[in-house]
Amino acid sequence: MIQPRYRPERKQTAASGDAGATRRWVVVWLLWCGPLLARSQALAPAGHTPDVRWYEAAAAMKRLAQSWGDQAYGAVLVLDDHVVGEGPSRVIKHGDPNAHAEREAIQDAQRRLKRTKLTGSILYSTSRPCAACEAAAAAASVSRMVFGDTLQDAGVPRAVPRP
């Protein structure tokens, strides 16, 4: 019997049903971001003044982003009771799909403090950070995240215009 010389293998991706790869990815993700997520929360109820105060600073960043027609997200990074990083969304302004408010705040703090690790800092954002920003925060050793609206509340993110 003649065997076919080429037998295309079924491509194994998470989308095509490789449950093992998906499970491994989830485990890695939880190990990476889990400790940070465990210390993070939606905005504390009114009356918890520090959180509300810094959330207002993040809301100001959101308004700044909206002032140039960007996505309605804002974030600040607070360390030792000072804002050390400011992050209005610059996705539309810079045409950069990764220029999320949280990442902008983290990078701003890293530039200002001239260091990559931001241990002890708290990231305040107007919406729950996306997975990429959670990973960026975990990589930068951000200690806690406090966030406001759900993603739905901020509306559907708009597409980045083509350069």
Considering the complex, what minimum distance in angstroms separates the CB of residue 100 from Zn ion? Answer: 3
Q: Is 133 in the site for Zn ion (CB under 5 A)?
A: yes
Q: Which is closer to Zn ion, CB of 122 or CB of 133?
A: 133
Query: Where does residue 90 rank: exposed (0-12), middle (13-18), buried (19+ CB within 10 A)?
Result: buried
b/e burial code for range 122-147 (CB count within 10 A of at least 16 → b)? bbbbbbbbbeebbbbbbebebbbbbb
Q: Which is closer to Zn ion, CB of 21 or CB of 160?
A: 160
Q: Which is closer to Zn ion, CB of 92 or CB of 133?
A: 133
Q: Are strands 144-149 and 122-127 parallel, antiparallel or unpaired?
A: parallel
Considering the complex, what minimum distance in angstroms separates the CB of residue 18 from Zn ion? Answer: 26
- Number of amino acids touching Zn ion (CB under 5 A): 4
Q: Which is closer to Zn ion, CB of 51 or CB of 127?
A: 127
**N residues, the chain:** 163
Q: Which residues inside 91-130 make contact with Zn ion, applying CB under 5 A?
A: 100, 130
Q: Which residues bind Zn ion (CB under 5 A)?
A: 100, 130, 132-133
